Amino acid sequence: MKKKKIVVLTGAGISAESGLKTFRDSDGLWEGYNIEDVATPRAWKKDPERVLRFYNLRRENVLDAKPNAAHAGLAALEKDFDVHIITQNIDDLHKRAGSSKVLHLHGQILKMRSEKNERLVYDITGNINIGDRAADGAQLRPHIVWFEEPVPMMENAIAITQTAEYFVVVGTSLVVYPAAGLLNYAPHGIPKFIIDKKIPYNSSLHDIAIIEKPATEGVELLAKLLKKSLTNKGF
């Protein structure tokens, strides 16, 4: 029997429980850095060394972190469902937890690319330094979609979302666009869920089940609801 398709959009809240901080936790600062100073093309042009230093530290943090129960819970859903993860996160925790279909909207911290050619991408676990060059001779930069840059994987994410039979949001309050707009592409009438510690009022959430819990607790509850839907043929 063909498995039903679950599309899950995940944000910083799911990785926060693995110890990875987000800039939204501290009034626009990311561990003491202003986002404008480290995560924009302007920042790269002005002070690439500071940008590399910032992302080298992020890479260390990710390599030290471990997937949590929420990552593992979403991976475990693959036993009964066709699960597609669309993540705003730049870490690899979904993959390490066992999820087999993961689309990274905002790039990956464990990859780097030419600053001139975004198709020249390489794996990286150490540091990127000034003077490190891609095959085209250009400086290497983190393979991250910075603020003010287009999101090249957005069309793929929309196409996946349009085929969902369940749509789930975990660890994001749907304020970062264009990712937050994916909710609008989920088919009308399918079951939809949002899991986050604090969910602000949003008029677009009128037909979505709200689970106001940390990601680890929320995904556990979601798994029970989804399993129940398989046996009861509905909620």
- Identify whether 71 is a catalytic site residue: no
Q: In this structure, what DSSP letter does residue 78 have?
A: G
Question: Residue 178 corresponds to which tokens in the numbers above?
Answer: 């264009």
**DSSP structure string for 7-37:** EEEE-HHHHHTTT---GGGGTTEETTEEHHH
Tokens of 91: 């870490």
Contact 212, 197 (CB under 8 A): yes
Helix residue ranges, H only, 48-97: 48-64, 69-76, 93-97
Which strands form 107-114's sheet, in the order they lie side by side? Answer: 121-123, 107-114, 140-144
How far is it, in rounded angstroms, from Cα 235 to Cα 233?
7
Which is the catalytic residue, given 106, 143, 188, 206? Answer: 106
Query: Active-site residues: which are they?
Result: 106
